[in-house]
Every structure is written in structure tokens, then in C-alpha cells.
């Protein structure tokens, strides 16, 4: 048991020593000028590589994705029309479409749908 413990300590120390030596002897610099500069087809960029991102465009994209997923959720409701009770189907469909319209009204009321402010 002590032999296994000693052997595992020697292996851990040896592996740490090898990792330390490899990091000290490597020629790679962390703050290399070429790695810190942006890459644009092998040439220096014409303008700043950090373009400001439009938050309004991001919000319009999120609204589109939400409504796209909701439309994908409407398709099974249409398919279930013949197999379920009509009253239950109409209540669920009405509630779902009401939630969609309330969300659309809220976004319209908050001026999220206006592209130019």
C-alpha cells in the first residue's frame, strides 16, 4: 500500500515537472502581435475590427425567432382539429392566439417594432 502511494506521488511530481519544463521551454509567446491582431483574409483590416452591434437589430431578431417557434407550435393544433373535442380545441387555440396577440401588442406598445427611433 505504501509502495502504491509512493509511486503515485512520484508520478504526479514527475508529470508536474514535465509540464513546467514544457511551458518554460516553449517558444510560443502569449501576447504575440500577430495573434492579437484581427485576421481579414491575410491582410490588415481596412477599419476597426470591432464594429458596434445594433441592439435593436438583436431584439427584432429575437422577436422573429419567438414568433417563428410559436407558428411551429400552431401546426399540431391544426392537425388535432379532427381528433379532439371541438370546445377544448377552440379554447386552447383561442388562449394560444390571445397570448400571441398580447405579446405582439406589448412589443408594439414598447416601440420595439419601429426600426427607426
pLDDT tens digit at each of 117 positions of the chain: 889 999 999 999 999 999 999 888 876 666 666 666 666 566 666 666 566 777 778 878 888 888 888 888 888 888 887 888 889 888 988 998 898 889 888 888 888 777 665
Cα–Cα distance, 55 to 51 (Å, whole number):
12
Cell of 110: 414598447
DSSP H or E stretch at residue 104: helix 86-109
Give, as one character, the DSSP assignment of residue 80: G
The answer to whether the beta carbons of residues 63 and 107 sit under 8 Å apart is yes
Q: What is the pLDDT of residue 34?
A: 63
Indicate whether this model's pTM tops 0.85: no
Amino acid at each position: 500500500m505504501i509502495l502504491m502511494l509512493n509511486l503515485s506521488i512520484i508520478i504526479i511530481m514527475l508529470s508536474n515537472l514535465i509540464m513546467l519544463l514544457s511551458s518554460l521551454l516553449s517558444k510560443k509567446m502569449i501576447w504575440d502581435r500577430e495573434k492579437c491582431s484581427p485576421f481579414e483574409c491575410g491582410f490588415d483590416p481596412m477599419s476597426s475590427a470591432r464594429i458596434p452591434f445594433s441592439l435593436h437589430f438583436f431584439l427584432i431578431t429575437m422577436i422573429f425567432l419567438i414568433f417563428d417557434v410559436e407558428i411551429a407550435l400552431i401546426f399540431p393544433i391544426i392537425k388535432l382539429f379532427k381528433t379532439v373535442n371541438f370546445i377544448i380545441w377552440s379554447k386552447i387555440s383561442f388562449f394560444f392566439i390571445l397570448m400571441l396577440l398580447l405579446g405582439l401588442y406589448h412589443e408594439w406598445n414598447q416601440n420595439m417594432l419601429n426600426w427607426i427611433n
